[in-house]
Amino acid sequence: MRSIQETIELRYTHAVHFTRGVFAAGNLLLRDSLQGGPGPAKVLFVVDRGLAQANPALAGAIAGYCQAHEACLQLVRAPLVVPGGEPVKNSILYTRMVQEAISDFGICRHSYVVAVGGGAVLDMVGYAAATSHRGVRLVRLPSTVLAQNDSGVGVKNGINAFGKKNFLGTFAPPHAVINDLDLLSTLSDRDWRGGTAEAVKVALIKDPAFFEELERNALALSHRNPAAMEQLIYRCAQLHVRHIARHGDPFESGSSRPLDFGHWAAHKLEQLSGFALRHGEAVAIGMALDSAYSCLTGRLPQKDWDRIATLLEKLGFDLYTPELEREELLAGLTEFQEHLGGEMSITLLDGIGKGVQVHEMDHVTVGEAIGELRRWSQNRAVFRRTL
Amino acid sequence: MRSIQETIELRYTHAVHFTRGVFAAGNLLLRDSLQGGPGPAKVLFVVDRGLAQANPALAGAIAGYCQAHEACLQLVRAPLVVPGGEPVKNSILYTRMVQEAISDFGICRHSYVVAVGGGAVLDMVGYAAATSHRGVRLVRLPSTVLAQNDSGVGVKNGINAFGKKNFLGTFAPPHAVINDLDLLSTLSDRDWRGGTAEAVKVALIKDPAFFEELERNALALSHRNPAAMEQLIYRCAQLHVRHIARHGDPFESGSSRPLDFGHWAAHKLEQLSGFALRHGEAVAIGMALDSAYSCLTGRLPQKDWDRIATLLEKLGFDLYTPELEREELLAGLTEFQEHLGGEMSITLLDGIGKGVQVHEMDHVTVGEAIGELRRWSQNRAVFRRTL
């Protein structure tokens, strides 16, 4: 029996740029990120409806920018506007709509799709772009904290199918990511605050100094201080991107998902709440749960658990939600593992900045951790009432 | 303005194994290609209906094989049977059916989908597997000459959409490819013969010694000599896989497509004939056209053109089809370029084994090349009548 064996190597440059006023004619970052061949590059914009409604001037600004740089950019049509949030991932129709526009307007592997919006819109548009012509170039302009510091700077895309989150999707490094702080100005307080959860996550598993920085800046962050947020997003995105590039498994072919600390419960809580809980809010509770569990199993010192709970509260998060008491919660452990497959792998904490992989969780102790969150939350309620 | 920049590197082992009797219990190749974690690996088979009908014992053989190796393999259900040929790529429904089976039977990134069939089935199943859970493992068992020596050993998958061939798809190296010569035994003469076209192609653009070997073996090949075919498939697959791995652009992010010699016309002829022309037959005509063009423009010596036309005829190909005269043919040039995008790039020949990239074709000369094919074909018809 004969065999042919070859090694195929691929190399991507993954770049995340930070700017303000990305559509100001004098800001050349976007233009320079859309380099084409000899003629102008064809560009299709897809915009999150929430953002478009909050910024009625956005479509005009995009058209004006392309006009100002018409030697380099050819806007193929007015921006396609799609709903934001989870609904855009629940139907294949929006993906189809973007793919059809790519077909109709002759977007090729040397043209660009620019997605402007929150994480769900970036996920859906990324999936449509990655599967058209086997991958046309995607530039992401995330418009939420969560998308700028986490999902939007990663290499995944996807939509929901067969009742499963992100069942359909691919790994596909974007051509570029541009984080414009100004795009966050119309965010609700709830979404502003929610976005800080992934920063706490990456600090907890990787970087105690970043955790201390978050403790120092917690009040500024909860009061929408832009400079504090800019720094948080930069550091969180940097740790995230470095992890992808430097930890040997960018497309997650193994069983380990250290970046998903707190996420097994978070995904399930989002679903059990009918998505009334936002992703960041659910991640905060999921991290609190796994931190309390780490403490109860003797991994995490009590004083570290107190610091974690205190920081999350200062940032404005609840640590408890009634969905924690639902029996179905523990199914989240199995579902979390099924997506990636292989051995069950959950991240816990041996300390602040010290993530550790374990391969099982004790259901009784999970119940005790939930009790700890309930008590903590009741004490805070009493504390607030006595203020 | 700050930036984060990292390099993401990926490395795939791309392996094509050759065997006979892949489902014989004593043949451990398939079992060893489906290595899982600690327990047995879950496996979902998807089989080409044409093959299943020609081999009524196939489903039983697959079940028997998994039974014999139950410590390693867990067959999740009876093989899913899907239509073969282009129709399976024309509707999203078959892709959906495979994705749904992946969901229903808990196929994860450490489980396997095994696709058994012709190139169209492998393309469709590959797309479904690559987009489920962001990519579950795919093992291909190609059952046609064309799939064993060309499409099945590559890194592409895809289906047709919006009236465009392979509009939806991804680049995704398979986990393994197993070429079983016995799977070819039920092929029609037409498909057996048709599969040799891609071998002529790769010889013409890369390897004059392989071209001479094909000349020597032409009659044996057209008379279904299995040893000659095995050698053809091995060498063709080897040249194809080496090109992908060693030429610096495995996922075709540039503009050049040297492996697509003869394919601009072939794709269009298949479509204009309503797919009455098979892919190999259309590629033979497409190569004849671009070879004649290379000769008429002074690149290819006349004696080389004669050798090419003679070899294609000996292998049983027609060099002419009335669809060549259709006005729409030249639109194939634009459509060919649009898929990849970037600069127009067509492969011509400077000699046998010497492919060369050009960036335009003269329409008048294309017409003259078609005239040459017409005359050649008429002369052969006269010659055959006088026999």
Other Cβ atoms within 10 Å of B53 Cβ, number: 12
Structure confidence at residue A37 (pLDDT): 74
Percent of chain A with pLDDT over 70: 98
pLDDT at residue B338, as a whole number: 72
Q: Which residue has the higher pLDDT, A220 or A387?
A: A220
User: What is the per-residue pLDDT for B253?
Assistant: 83
The stretches of chain A forming alpha helices (DSSP H) are: 29-33, 49-54, 58-68, 87-90, 92-104, 119-131, 145-149, 189-194, 197-206, 208-222, 226-246, 263-272, 279-296, 302-314, 331-340, 363-385
pLDDT, residue B296, reads 97
Chain A residues with CB under 8 Å of B35 CB are none
Instruction: Kindly report the length of chain A.
Output: 387
Lowest-confidence segment of A35-44, A295-304, B100-109 by average pLDDT: A35-44
Residue A256: is its pLDDT beyond 70?
A: yes
Chain B residues whose CB is inside 8 A of the A134 CB are 156, 158, 166, 169-171, 251-252
Average pLDDT over residues A99-123: 96
The mean pLDDT of A77-96, rounded to a whole number, is 96
Contact A73, A110 (CB under 8 A): no
User: For residue A82, what is the DSSP state?
Assistant: E
Under 8 Å between Cβ of A165 and A267: yes
Interface test with chain B among A93, A98, A107, A133, by most B beta carbons within 10 Å: A133
Distance in angstroms (rounded) separating the CA atoms of residues A87 and A67: 33
DSSP string, A255-275: S--GGGTTHHHHHHHHHHTTT
Query: What whole-number distance in Å separates Cα of residue B66 and Cα of residue B29?
Result: 13
CA angle B35, B39, B41 (to 5 degrees): 45
Report the pLDDT value the prediction gives residue B254, as an integer from 0 to 100: 80
Angle of helix B263-272 relative to helix B331-340, nearest 10 degrees, comes to 110
**B237 vs A contacts (CB less than 8 Å):** 4
Amino acid B386: pLDDT: 67
Dihedral class, residue A361 (left if φ above 0, else alpha if ψ from -120 to 50, else beta): beta
Q: Angle at the Cα of A361 (from A355 to A367), degrees rounded to 5? A: 110
Please tell me the distance from the alpha carbon of residue B264 to that of residue B328, in angstroms, as a whole number.
Answer: 12
A190, A42 contact by CB (below 8 A)? no
pTM: 0.95
Q: What are the C-alpha distances in Å from A165 to residues A96, A316, A338, B42, B238?
A: 18, 26, 11, 21, 40
CB of B229 within 8 A of CB of B145? Answer: yes
Q: Which of A41, A9, A102, A120 minimizes the C-alpha distance to B11?
A: A9
Q: How far apart are CA A182 and CA A159, in angstroms?
A: 27
Q: By mean pLDDT, which of A114-123, A308-317, B245-254 is the weakest?
A: B245-254
Percent helix, percent strand, percent coil in chain B, to nearest 5:
50, 20, 30
Q: How confident is the model at residue A387 (pLDDT cuts 50, 70, 90)?
A: low
First to last CA, chain B: 79
Find chain B residues with C-beta within 8 A of A331's C-beta: none
A384, pLDDT greater than 70: no
* Average pLDDT of chain A to the nearest whole number: 94
Half-sphere exposure of A39 toward its Cβ, with a 13 Å CA cutoff? 9
Residue A386 has what pLDDT? 67
Q: Which of A16, A109, A245 shows the shortest C-beta gap to B8?
A: A245
The length of chain B in residues reads 387
Structure confidence at residue B387 (pLDDT)? 58
pLDDT at A339 over 70: no
Positions in chain B whose pLDDT score sits under 70: 339-340, 383-387
**What is the rounded CA–CA span in Å between residue B133 and residue A168?**
6
> Distance between CA atoms of A163 and A168, rounded to whole angstroms?
11
CA-CA distance, B134 to A289, in Å (whole number)? Answer: 28
Closest Cβ–Cβ partner in B15, B133, B342 for A3: B15
The amino acid occupying position A83 is P
Chain A nearest C-alpha distance from B2 (Å)? 5
Given this model, what pLDDT does residue B141 score? 98
**Residue B342, C-beta contacts closer than 8 angstroms, at least 6 positions apart:** A37, A108, A109, A110, B254, B255
Instruction: Mark out the alpha helices in chain B (DSSP H runs).
Output: 29-33, 49-54, 58-68, 87-90, 92-104, 119-131, 145-149, 189-194, 197-206, 208-222, 226-246, 263-272, 279-296, 302-314, 331-340, 363-385
Average pLDDT over residues A196-220: 97
Q: What distance in Å separates the CA atoms of residue A187 and residue B15, rounded to the nearest whole number? A: 50
Residue of B383 and A57 predicted with greater confidence: A57
Amino acid at residue number B16: V
CB-defined contacts A:B, below 8 A = 213
Look-up of token digits 């991804």: B170
Question: Distance from A320 to chain B by nearest Cα, in Å?
Answer: 30
pLDDT of residue B44: 98
A340 or B76: which carries more pLDDT confidence?
Answer: B76
**What are the pLDDT digits (tens) for A134-168?**
999 999 999 999 999 999 999 999 999 998 889 99
Output DSSP code: residue A101: H
Of B12, B108, B169, the CB nearest to A8: B12
> What's the rounded mean pLDDT across residues A158-186?
95
So what's the ipTM on this one? 0.94
> What pLDDT score does A255 carry?
74
Please answer whether residues A319 and A284 qualify as being in contact, where contact means their C-beta atoms are separated by less than 8 angstroms. yes
Residue B76's pLDDT is: 97
Interface mutation target, options A2, A3, A4, chain B, most CBs of B under 10 Å: A4
Which residue from A188, A43, A68, A69 is spatially nearest to A125, judged by alpha carbons?
A: A43
Share of chain A above pLDDT 90, in %: 86
Q: Residue A159: list chain B partners with CB under 8 A.
A: none
In the prediction, which pLDDT does B36 show? Answer: 72
pLDDT in the model for residue A68? 98
In chain A, whose CA is at the least distance from the CA of B170? A134
Rounded to whole angstroms, the Cα distance separating B173 from B153 reads 9
Distance from CA of B194 to the nearest CA of A (A): 23
